[in-house]
Amino acid sequence: MPQLLESRGVRFRKNYMHLFTGLLAGILFVNTYAGWETDMEKAKVKAVQEHKLILLNFSGSDWCGPCIRLHDEVFESREFKQFAESGVILVNADFPRMKKNQLPKEQQKQNDFLAEKYDANGVFPYTVLLDAQGNVVKAWEGFPQASPAQFVGQLKNLCDARK
C-alpha cells in the first residue's frame, strides 16, 4: 500500500508540474507581446521613418481578463498580425500586478507617463491609435465590440485616411 500511495504522489507531482509549467508559459507568453515596442519614443521615431501610425495598448497582462482576451482573440489573430506587420507600429504599456511579473522601474515609469497622458481614467484594456507625434486619432475603451477582421478594417480605414 505505501508504494501505491508513493507512486500516486509521484504521478501527482509530475502532473502538477506539467500544469504549473503550462500556466507559467501562458503567463510569459502574454507578457512578451512579440512584435510590440515598449518605448514610445522609439516607436515615434519608427513611425516617422516608416510613415505609420502607432497603436498603443494598455494592458494588465497577468490580471485583466479582457486584456488577455483582446491579446488572444484579436492581437494574435492572423488578420491583425498581417495588417500590423506593415500597417502600424505596436506599443504595449503593461501594468502587471503579480510581484514576479513586475517591470523594471524605468519601464514602469514610462508606462505610468503614458497612462497619465492617454489613459487618465485607468481603463483596461485601452487601445489608442496615435499619429507619429503622439496625437490621438481614435481610442477604444475595453474589449472592442468587433471581430478581429472588423477591428483590422477600422484600423485600415483610419490609416488610409491619414495617408
Domain ranges of the chain: 1-32, 34-161
Superfamily of domain 34-161: Glutaredoxin (3.40.30.10)
109-146 pLDDT, tens digit each: 999 999 999 999 999 999 999 999 999 999 999 999 99
Total-model pTM:
0.80
CA distance 91 to 83: 15
Alpha helices in 33-163 (DSSP H): 40-50, 65-70, 78-87, 105-118, 148-161
Burial of 143 (0-12, 13-18, 19+ CB in 10 A): middle
11-35 pLDDT, tens digit each: 545 444 444 434 444 444 444 467 9
CB 53 within 8 A of CB 130: yes
- CA atoms 94, 97, 103, 109: torsion sign: positive
